[in-house]
Structure 1
């Protein structure tokens, strides 16, 4: 029987409690064996923010998931130059390990954006999509995806970056370890 692994992609700039809630809820409700956080190098739909390095984002992500044996990090996209397309990632992962059944986890914002994804029709044949609700977004799509209802949390990395920039508290929006790294490294200030 194939191992069921959920992939949660993002910039994780910084990783926050919303990411962890999504991962834990999907792990349990979709009956997965493991969640792999998939930090990307350059997402095709966002501008690059080079004020925080990939190594710093990875360090924060490692801190965020420490203590949960069901959470791992997959660095395949950080090892690749240029834009990170899910199609290329899934193709490489399934070629590398055919004993794993991958699911790709997306929020409401990406559910709406699915028709614009690179090679989406081929990608739909390669991987199972799991969508989760996100405040202010619908989960309407012409594509067949599994929907998992999670608690609504309106936490975003951009809100956290803005709060740090304005010298506002981010405590309880990120884990203690991520909070420590942001403070010690003087990130986003």
Structure 2
């Protein structure tokens, strides 16, 4: 029997409220820099980190991702966290991935801010001991602190941490939502198909909008 090829799968998690070009550019950079076979966009369900925020429904967020990555074979959508009931923890996601895809290697893609806070997550050792962590870093004045954290995580957990020099545009979903709310243009910030969907579904607009 032919041995199954060990795939290298990138996991890009987030609220994606909405997905924008910054997310897509980060995924593309990770795909190329780390020689990944695929990057899965994994929108969070009921994240304990972001409870209480004005977040579009899981159906809307998943649909916007589908529209954004349509035609890109190397990108995919995972609804693993969306389908989970209760708070979403990365450690649970890692364990589920390892059970479902025991032959694959997983790369969790995150920003430097998440890496700095990673030890405060629930059971961070499950992520650090089972997956490669790929951190997107830009020159923000935290390089020295970041290097100390990386050295600590490598020593404490034997973590495999890769650095992705940030070449993507400085965008945030919160800025996009705010601009939409106040009727400002968000062209060139997210794919046209996503923008059209937001308009059709009246997402992020003022409630008194006619």
- TM-score band, normalised by shorter chain: over 0.9
Decide whether aligned partners of structure 1 residues 132 and 67 sit closer, same or farther in structure 2, where only a CA change above 3 A counts: same
| In 2, Cα distance between equivalents of 1:18 and 1:108 | 14
| In 1, Cα distance between equivalents of 2:69 and 2:24 | 8
Residue 55 of structure 1: aligned partner: 59
Q: Higher Cα Rg: structure 1 or 2?
A: 2
Residue 117 of structure 1: aligned partner: 121
State the TM-score, normalized to the length of structure 1.
0.94
Select the residue among 78, 95, 99 that pairs with 1:95.
99
Q: Indicate if the aligned counterparts of 1:107 and 1:134 stay in contact, CA closer than 8 A.
A: no
Decide whether aligned partners of structure 1 residues 48 and 136 sit closer, same or farther in structure 2, where only a CA change above 3 A counts: farther
The answer to whether the aligner puts 1:143 opposite 2:159 as a matched pair is no
Query: Counterpart of 2:190 in 1: which secondary structure?
Result: coil
Select the residue among 191, 204, 210 that pairs with 1:175.
191
| In 2, Cα distance between equivalents of 1:174 and 1:48 | 25
| In 2, Cα distance between equivalents of 1:51 and 1:42 | 10
* Structure 2, unpaired ranges of 5+: 155-160, 206-210
CA offsets, 1:90-118, max 9 Å, x none? 10111111121111000122111112111
- Runs of at least 4 residues off by over 3 Å: 48-51, 134-139
Q: Indicate if the aligned counterparts of 1:108 and 1:131 stay in contact, CA closer than 8 A.
A: yes
Cα deviation for residue 67 of structure 1 reads 1.8
Decide whether aligned partners of structure 1 residues 57 and 87 sit closer, same or farther in structure 2, where only a CA change above 3 A counts: same
Moved more, 39-48 or 176-185: 39-48
Decide whether aligned partners of structure 1 residues 134 and 181 sit closer, same or farther in structure 2, where only a CA change above 3 A counts: farther
CA offsets, 1:149-184, max 9 Å, x none? 131421000000000011000111000111001111
State the TM-score, normalized to the length of structure 2.
0.85
Q: Indicate if the aligned counterparts of 1:40 and 1:84 stay in contact, CA closer than 8 A.
A: yes
Aligned residues: 189
Decide whether aligned partners of structure 1 residues 117 and 103 sit closer, same or farther in structure 2, where only a CA change above 3 A counts: same
Residue 3 of structure 1: aligned partner: 7
* Structure 1, unpaired ranges of 5+: none
The answer to whether the aligner puts 1:37 opposite 2:41 as a matched pair is yes
Q: Indicate if the aligned counterparts of 1:133 and 1:152 stay in contact, CA closer than 8 A.
A: no
Cα deviation for residue 14 of structure 1 reads 0.1
The answer to whether the aligner puts 1:154 opposite 2:170 as a matched pair is yes
Q: Indicate if the aligned counterparts of 2:17 and 2:55 stay in contact, CA closer than 8 A.
A: no
Decide whether aligned partners of structure 1 residues 42 and 137 sit closer, same or farther in structure 2, where only a CA change above 3 A counts: farther
Query: Counterpart of 2:80 in 1: which secondary structure?
Result: coil
Query: Counterpart of 1:123 in 2: which secondary structure?
Result: helix
